[in-house]
């Protein structure tokens, strides 16, 4: 009996615990009703009276020893916990988190979308991988139009059906007109692709915003007024616009729009090459062939469309000299637009 007491004491003395759960397991193993210490008390009852005096004392000592050990383990864990939380200074300022910034093209795209949303346009989007019909045929491109050439367009598959990367967001017009009857008033922001050598002034992908309004009695005067309102919101209330006759397969008549150079105020400077004007977009009245191709009655409805490059508008606003900057992800460049972030 005395050996058992001594070996159990040695065992208890060497115990360690790393969590409150482990302490509890120790308590159960030694001190609960069915525990090892209690089992010794059972053996004790069967002993002859002359041995009981001495061993009773030893047993009580063992029980106290085990109880103290469990308490000590519990306390040392709690103290370690306190230490850990005491060493965290909750009032300390956090290390600065490096936040990203909005990309300049997103800033300008959002601004363009905001302006047209306020004029009642909703946003429509379409796929970047397109077919010939949506990018060319439905938009009145002649069969031998140069844009249909490999030199200008990235084809993914040729024949029997052409699969290609859209070269303009005008394809979204077709997608919306095929599904919706007028009135239609949308703008379509998105990325477009062209087979161009990459340089400071050209890239193989860039971004456009397309606009389309179709209803009864839509006239060129409506187009002009909406574009003037847009130009003044975007570049300031002093901005003038001028429309020059142009050609696009999908509009008739077609025009290109210039704004008065906001750098020299129209007097002429190197930026506008001395002319006082800078070109910002193409536009026109939707060709009746396009309306018919998309299932809209061209005798009942008319409409206007316009398309602009987001890079171009961004360059005018922020004078980014090299187009490649937009896709290089140089944080020094991107952080320059922090202040303009909306
Ligand atoms: N799709 C033309 C381009 O990529 C831009 C454009 C011009 C769109 C005139 C139009 C428009 O809707 O009417 O250059």
The CATH number that applies at residue 158 is: 3.30.930.10
Domain containing 73 equals 2-86
Question: For a substitution probing ligand 1, which of 136, 174, 210, 256 has the most ligand atoms within 8 Å of its CB?
Answer: 210
Does some domain include residue 330?
yes
35-42 mean pLDDT? 85
Tens of pLDDT, residue by residue over 179-231, are 999 999 999 999 999 999 999 989 999 999 999 999 999 999 999 999 999 99
Considering its fold, how many domains does the chain have in total?
2
Within this chain, do residues 149 and 60 fall inside the same structural domain, yes or no?
no
pLDDT at 341: 53
Burial 240-254 (b: 16+ CB within 10 A, else e): bbebeeeebbbbeeb
Q: Both tokens of residue 140?
A: 């009145």
Distance of alpha carbon 224 from alpha carbon 220, whole angstroms = 6
Question: For a substitution probing ligand 1, which of 168, 286, 290 has the most ligand atoms within 8 Å of its CB?
Answer: 168
Question: For a substitution probing ligand 1, which of 189, 192, 250, 252 has the most ligand atoms within 8 Å of its CB?
Answer: 250
Nearest Cα to Cα of residue 35 among 25, 44, 45: 25
Q: Which atom of ligand 1 is nearest to the CA of 286?
A: 13
- Let me know the angle formed at the C-alpha of 204 by 202 and 208, rounded to the nearest 5 degrees: 80
Within this chain, do residues 119 and 70 fall inside the same structural domain, yes or no?
no
Within this chain, do residues 108 and 82 fall inside the same structural domain, yes or no?
no
13-41 mean pLDDT? 87
Distance from the alpha carbon of residue 254 to the mean position of ligand 1, in angstroms: 9
As for ligand 1, residues whose beta carbon falls within 6 Å of it are 168, 170, 210, 248, 251, 282-284, 305-307
Distance from the alpha carbon of residue 337 to the mean position of ligand 1, in angstroms: 28
Whether this model's pTM surpasses 0.75: no
Domain closes at, from 55, 86, 117: 86
């Amino acid at each position: 009996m005395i050996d058992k007491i001594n070996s159990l004491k040695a065992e208890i003395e060497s115990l360690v615990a790393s969590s409150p759960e482990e302490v509890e397991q120790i308590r159960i193993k030694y001190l609960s009703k069915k525990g090892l210490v209690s089992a010794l008390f059972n053996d004790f009852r069967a002993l002859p009276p002359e041995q009981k005096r001495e061993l009773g004392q030893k047993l009580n000592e063992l029980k106290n020893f085990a109880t103290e050990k469990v308490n000590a383990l519990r306390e040392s864990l709690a103290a370690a916990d306190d230490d850990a939380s005491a060493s965290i200074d909750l009032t300390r300022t956090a290390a600065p988190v490096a936040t990203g910034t909005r990309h300049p093209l997103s800033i300008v795209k959002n601004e363009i979308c905001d302006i047209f949303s306020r004029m009642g346009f909703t946003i429509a989007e379409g796929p970047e991988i397109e077919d010939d019909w949506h990018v060319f045929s439905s938009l009145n491109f002649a069969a031998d139009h140069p844009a249909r050439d490999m030199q200008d367009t990235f084809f993914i598959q040729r024949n029997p059906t052409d699969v290609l990367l859209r070269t303009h967001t005008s394809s979204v017009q077709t997608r919306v007109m095929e599904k919706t009857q007028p009135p239609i008033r949308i703008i379509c922001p998105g990325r477009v692709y062209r087979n161009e050598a990459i340089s400071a002034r050209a890239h193989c992908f860039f971004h456009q915003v397309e606009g389309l309004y179709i209803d009864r009695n839509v006239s060129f005067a409506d187009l002009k007024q909406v574009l003037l309102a847009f130009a003044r919101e975007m570049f300031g209330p002093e901005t003038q616009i001028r429309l020059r006759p142009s050609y696009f397969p999908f509009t008739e008549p077609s025009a290109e729009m210039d704004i008065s150079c906001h750098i020299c105020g129209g007097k002429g400077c190197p930026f506008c090459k001395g002319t006082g004007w800078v070109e910002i977009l193409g536009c026109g009245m939707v060709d009746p062939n396009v309306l018919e191709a998309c299932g809209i009655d061209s005798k009942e409805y008319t409409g206007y469309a316009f398309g602009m490059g987001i890079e171009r508008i961004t360059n005018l606003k922020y004078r980014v000299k090299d187009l490649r900057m937009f896709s290089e992800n140089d944080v020094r460049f991107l952080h320059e637009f922090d202040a303009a972030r909306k």
